[in-house]
Amino acid sequence: MSLSFEKNKELRHFTTFGISTKSSLYIPFSSIEELSEIIQSNEYLTSKSMVLGGGSNVLFTKDFEGVVLHNQLKGISEVGRGDDYVLIEFGSGEVWHDSVLYAVENGYGGIENLSLIPGSVGAAPMQNIGAYGVELKDVFHSLNALEISTGEIKTFYNEECNFGYRESVFKRELKNQFIIVSVVLRLTTQNHNLNTSYGAINAKLLELGLEPSLSNISRAVIDIRRSKLPDPNDIGNSGSFFKNPVVEVKKFEELQGRFPEIPNYPAPSRKIKLAAGWLIEKAGWKGKRFEDYGVHNNQALVLVNYGNAKGAQVYSLSQDILEDVESKFGIILEREVNII
């Protein structure tokens, strides 16, 4: 098979930020054979490279001098079953939300709270996606990934992925070493553990007059998300730009002394999670607009592109916010979005 790399490819429509950027080489892949061939090609071996899924968690700050490999690996199949669960393998290029709908329609429980998160299945383990009281790690069984240096497919089970809050081994120790080709989820077929612990879900179910069920929770989450988060089709964005900081009790108490209303949530290891959006809003950034970029009007955690923003401008805004929050609260925020 001869590989066809496109040159100077415009990536604007491949990312939810919708920012114009070019990659010097671009190639989509839709099978593991194709991917194996790509990583052995001269173009790949002599350039920098990156995998792009749905482009909903990346910010290109400049043109990418290298190869962008665009994931189109599809396929959904059952690979195991027990008394009350099923193992489903999803191709990493499947759209995450379509996979959630597939699970809900088939009566498989576990990912209904993760409805409407943009992006591909393959990127979900990268940062252990989470929302409304559920994280990928709660249902994750294993994944298969192509090791770039050897061309071999390796399997990683849950414990080997070091999942944490928006973290995994693939974002840290194994960064850029593997391309995830499929993800296996363990989903319930009965005795579903419906999670409505987030007040907003219960309130929405009540408002809609619906009983908790897989499909009703999914519907409630979709409704809530549509009302709270800007749709990238209308305003370019990448969801939460920063992670919520986790601090020691001492630091929290000091802040609570100054700001009694500060939102706080228990975190593992007796630490406290704070809301990055609250800190950014309190620092006065919510709704600020500069030319075509800014901080969203209703969600201070979301940086936006109003049309023709440049990646470097959005990055520089994020740096200003970081420094301001540090000077006002003594907390160093961490970016959640992958800066390229």
Ligand X SMILES: Cc1cc2nc3c(=O)[nH]c(=O)nc-3n(C[C@H](O)[C@H](O)[C@H](O)COP(=O)(O)OP(=O)(O)OC[C@H]3O[C@@H](n4cnc5c(N)ncnc54)[C@H](O)[C@@H]3O)c2cc1C
Minimum CB distance to ligand X, residue 84 (Å) = 27
116 φ/ψ sector (left φ>0, alpha ψ -120 to 50, else beta): left
Minimum CB distance to ligand X, residue 166 (Å) = 6
129 forms part of the interface with ligand X (CB under 6 A): yes
**Closer to ligand X at the Cβ: 163 or 329?**
163
Binders of ligand X among residues 1 to 60 (CB under 6 A) are 16, 50-58
What's 263-322 look like in SS3?
Answer: CEEEECCCEEEECHHHHHHHCCCCCCEECCEEECCCCCCCEEECCCCCHHHHHHHHHHHH
| 258 annotated active-site | no
* End-to-end C-alpha distance for the chain, whole angstroms: 30
**Closer to ligand X at the Cβ: 21 or 71?**
71
**Closer to ligand X at the Cβ: 49 or 216?**
49
| 135 annotated active-site | no
Question: Quick one: which of 70, 73, 65 has its CA closest to 7?
Answer: 65
Contact window for ligand X (CB under 6 A) among 30-38, 193-201, 235-243, 269-277: 235-243
295 forms part of the interface with ligand X (CB under 6 A): no
Minimum CB distance to ligand X, residue 222 (Å) = 12
294 forms part of the interface with ligand X (CB under 6 A): no
316 Cβ contact partners less than 8 Å away, ≥ 6 residues apart: none
Taking CB under 6 A as the criterion, the residue among 19, 35, 111, 179 binding ligand X is 179
Q: What angle do CA 228, 234, 239 make, to 5 degrees?
A: 50
For ligand X, how many residues bind (rule: CB under 6 A)?
Answer: 32
Rounded to the nearest 10 degrees, what angle do helices 199-208 and 214-228 cross at? 100
Taking CB under 6 A as the criterion, the residue among 19, 100, 101, 117 binding ligand X is 117
Q: Which of 24, 56, 218, 240 is catalytic?
A: 240
Minimum CB distance to ligand X, residue 206 (Å) = 22
Contact window for ligand X (CB under 6 A) among 31-39, 59-67, 119-127, 152-160: 119-127
* Residue 259, number of CB atoms within 10 A of its CB: 12
Q: Which two tokens stand for residue 157?
A: 């089970």
Burial class (CB in 10 A: 0-12, 13-18, 19+), 28: middle
**Closer to ligand X at the Cβ: 92 or 313?**
92
134 Cβ contact partners less than 8 Å away, ≥ 6 residues apart: 110, 111, 113, 114, 195
Its sign, for the CA torsion 198, 200, 202, 205, is: negative
Q: Which of 89, 166, 186, 238 is catalytic?
A: 166
Minimum CB distance to ligand X, residue 258 (Å) = 29
Q: Which two tokens stand for residue 7?
A: 């040159």
| 336 annotated active-site | yes
Instruction: Report the catalytic residues.
Output: 166, 240, 336
Residue numbers at the binding site for ligand X (CB under 6 A) = 16, 50-58, 71, 92, 117-120, 122-124, 126-127, 129-131, 179-180, 229, 232, 237-239, 338
